[in-house]
Amino acid sequence: MTYRRFGETGLSVGPLALGTVNFSWLTSEGDSFAILDRAFEAGVNLVDTSDNYNAGQTEALLGRWFAQGGGRRERTVLASKVYSPPMEWGSGDPALRSGSWVGPNQRGLSARHIREACEASLRRLNTDHLDLYQMHHVDRSAPWEEIWQAMDLLVAQGKVIYVGSSNFAGWHIARAQETARARRGLGLVSEQSVYNLLKRTVELEVIPAARAYGMAFLPYSPLAGGLLGGRPTDNERGRRAFLPPSPAVDAFQTLCDDLGHAPGAVALAWVARQPGVTAPVVGPRTLAQFDASLAALDIALDDEVWARIDTLFPGPGGAAPEAYAW
């Protein structure tokens, strides 16, 4: 496992991050532990979760995995998120948290919610600190001075080491960083956004902003929720089984067949090699899926193949404003 710097910090992470959105939801605790153990053995040290994954049950599962000892917590770069109230997946009601009522102050990025959410995450995760605490979304109602005051306090208390963002626009990153700079703070060290062959909008401003501020960039959904995983089999269930025909995806499948690689592996390898990318976040449901993600990191293709892939899935034209202006 080759490690790299996490942005311009002194932190080191592997080239792949383990996302846990399926744990305790679509993946049983035993299978989740098996995936976590495989990642641990392979040297994948960045584990990403959120307080709203399965009403907080995913964080609690990770807490039980850490409780087994063996250096699990010490060797893990643990990342969680704050914004939404913990909710049951599929409940359709973000105001439900394990059967209890959630008021207007149990969401967003107010100083109060940041403090309460962090304390709750630490309890569930069975740890005294988060290595990376990410704002899961922008909160247009919370002033940046308030947000940074709350985050700086958590850092001063030793409950959070680094602060990151997720689903931010480029100008949100700039405002956050300039406010932190005025307060003489470290600011955001990472941004986590959706990025794959089908969704390349972040190339316009988000990735350039992250690079300009020396931030790590963590692309999630590198397989577009499985849509880039290849043609579904006759017996396969899930979203891919109901996909409408797509000439680009079909051509990508044919190209990957000719190369002798699974489409999902090539799609992940493409994301991993893009400029500014630190570590793609994969969310395996099975151990086999995680093993396939590890193997994808070893795929080496020539520039002509990468150019053909870019032709099949053209991006926005590069960074803004050159992508749309002279």
pLDDT tens per residue across span 271-312: 999 999 999 999 999 999 999 999 999 999 999 999 999 999
Q: What is the per-residue pLDDT for 241?
A: 53
Dump the DSSP string for 163-194: EEEES--HHHHHHHHHHHHHTT---EEEEEEE
Cα–Cα distance for residue pair 128/239, rounded to 1 Å: 38
Task: Please give the single-letter amino acid code of residue 16.
Answer: L
Cα–Cα distance for residue pair 279/264, rounded to 1 Å: 16
220 is known as an active-site residue: no
**Catalytic-labelled residue, pool 3, 53, 195, 220:** 53
Whole-number Cα distances in Å, 270 to 17, 200, 305? 15, 12, 10
Taking the chain (326 residues) in runs of 10, the rounded mean pLDDT of each run is 96 98 96 98 98 95 98 98 74 45 85 97 98 98 98 98 98 98 98 98 98 98 93 57 76 96 97 97 97 95 96 96 95
Q: Quick one: tokens of 120?
A: 């709750």
Task: State residue 67 phi and psi, 5-degree precision.
Answer: -65, -15
Q: What is the per-residue pLDDT for 99?
A: 44
Strand duo 96-97 + 100-101: pairing: antiparallel
- Write the burial class of residue 101 (CB in 10 Å: 0-12 exposed, 13-18 middle, 19+ buried): exposed
Q: What digits encode the pLDDT tens for the residues 19-66?
A: 999 999 999 999 999 999 999 999 999 999 999 999 999 999 999 999
3-state secondary structure of 125: helix
Q: What is the per-residue pLDDT for 231?
A: 72
Q: What is the per-residue pLDDT for 243?
A: 60
3-state secondary structure of 253: helix
Q: What is the pTM of this model?
A: 0.93
Omega before residue 284 within 30° of 0, cis: no
Cα–Cα distance for residue pair 108/200, rounded to 1 Å: 27
Catalogue all structural domains in the chain, each as residue range(s) with its CATH number. Answer: 4-227+264-300 (3.20.20.100)
Q: What is the per-residue pLDDT for 86?
A: 73
Task: State residue 82 phi and psi, 5-degree precision.
Answer: -135, 140
Whole-number Cα distances in Å, 85 to 61, 93, 153, 250? 18, 10, 21, 39
Task: Please give the single-letter amino acid code of residue 39.
Answer: A
Nearest-CA neighbor of 178 among 212, 204, 207? 212
Which residues is 204 bridged to in the sheet? none
For residue 255, the surrounding DSSP H or E stretch is helix 247-259
